[in-house]
Amino acid sequence: MVFVIGTVMARIILNGIQKEISDNISVSTLLAQMDLPKFFVVEKNKEIIYKENFDSEYLSDGDVLEIATFCGGG
């Protein structure tokens, strides 16, 4: 899966899988292109990114992202 916004590409690792994305896009731009449930958490390079920072946190070549979703059980 390739997420394209511009022409310069960056390689990131997203949940353990290498992806090519447009260089220097925000976390919120990437997330808008994904089908995610209501509740999830984003970790970039082993640091949690808070929802209020999604617009100002940019991705670049070599970044490692983990997106974890929550599920309930009983």
Residue 15's pLDDT band, with cuts at 50, 70 and 90, is very high
Tell me the average pLDDT across 12-33: 94
Tell me the pTM: 0.81
**Class for the domain spanning 2-69:** alpha beta
Over residues 25-48, the mean pLDDT reads 94
For the chain, what percent of residues have pLDDT higher than 90?
70
At 41 the pLDDT is 97
Calculate mean pLDDT across residues 33-43.
Answer: 93
HSE-up (13 A, CA, CB side) for residue 25: 21
Q: Which amino acid is at 67?
A: I
